[in-house]
Structure 1
Amino acid sequence: AAETIFEALQDGGVTAGRLAAYPEKVESSWIKEELWPVRNFHQAFDHGLAAGMVQAGVGLVTGGRGWGVLDRVGTKPGHERMIPLDTPEGARLRRPEPVKADGQLTFDRLADVYHSGTAHDEDQPVHLLVADTDICIYHCAVEYANPCQRFCPAAVYEMVPEPDSPTGQRLQINASNCVHCKTCDIMDPYGIITWVPPEGGGGPNYGKM
């Protein structure tokens, strides 16, 4: 992508025509060679662990084909798999009990953020863009119990008390904790969270773990 943009800038500017070379570069690069055989791996587990193991195994010996014959297997985006609490299936769900970390073999999320070497300038603009926080307060809290508080591995999202709010709470974004996994961008049930690169290249330093 960077090569294509650089070449487009050298040719006079970034236009759709000049950027059209990007798919061609991917198709002829090691990226295609490496990722094509595993193109259906995720979809293999849509029907459970047992079916996924079988399908993934067959895919390994058939060049990545789904069930050995399908070139591409369809799937749903992650956020569409969220189950609303007001459905029969959602009514049976129970919020998992917090796991108590022992500090030796298991750690809480903030300890893991520290171990990842994550660092951002505290005064930089927030790089996690929430299009409408009212949705978090009025809709998501009722329909999904704000799952961002649980699927984020770095405790970036918190619903905190807010006396001036009609619901008594507001969304707090601890952007400096972000480990850039983009789970929120993928799994938010309303698709209103957008992850963008932070200023100064901040983020985790996994090499020090």
Structure 2
Amino acid sequence: MSNKKYYVNNVWDKEEFRRCALGKKFKMQEILKYLKRCIKWSCQRIVRGYAECDVWNMDGYLQRLVPDMLQDLKDNRNGSPSYLGENYTNEEGILVNDTCHDEWDKILDNMIFLWRESNEETCKRINPYYDEYDKAFEEFTEKYGILGDKLRTEAELENDKKFRVRTGHFMDELPQYKEISEKYFAEEKKLEEYRNKCKDDAIDLLKEHFYALWD
């Protein structure tokens, strides 16, 4: 197994190169276009510190970047904030404070944890109804089409055609899918509240120790 570290904010993501050509007739042409964009984004990061792709999803970018930087600081720092720990006089009569390091480690670990938990992609909590809901959604889509197209009434079809819109129907409208839909989205609401609290707690810690984030 390779020991090479994978950085989630790396613009040179081979998976993204694969995705950019999905469904495209001229795959190589799309890959070359994406290659050109990656070069542009890399140059932007070198010159100004961030790229266009970072701005498009700034919250997600920071949720990935900040904990990675905090982890790097924790692993490679040379010191810790002097306002942490307790000063005491050692056997040689010298005033020292070596308890600040463990305390700073715990704070950094907590900050890293909270930042990663605030991100839907890295949060360790999962919806217990995900698999059941996903299976039901696949069944619903297979029976009734994307956005429940086959459930549209004649009046809806006429209205969609007239106003150039598309009426959608969803799983919770049908009795056989209502219960799993309600359970799934109730858990999703709880997860969203949890991630939002993690985000708030992470930012509070960031504010409290902002000027200590250096080495």
If the TM-score is normalised by the length of the shorter chain, which range does it land in? under 0.3
Name the one with the larger strand percent: 1
> Which one has a bigger Cα radius of gyration?
2
Name the one with the larger helix percent: 2
User: TM-score when scaled to structure 2?
Assistant: 0.21
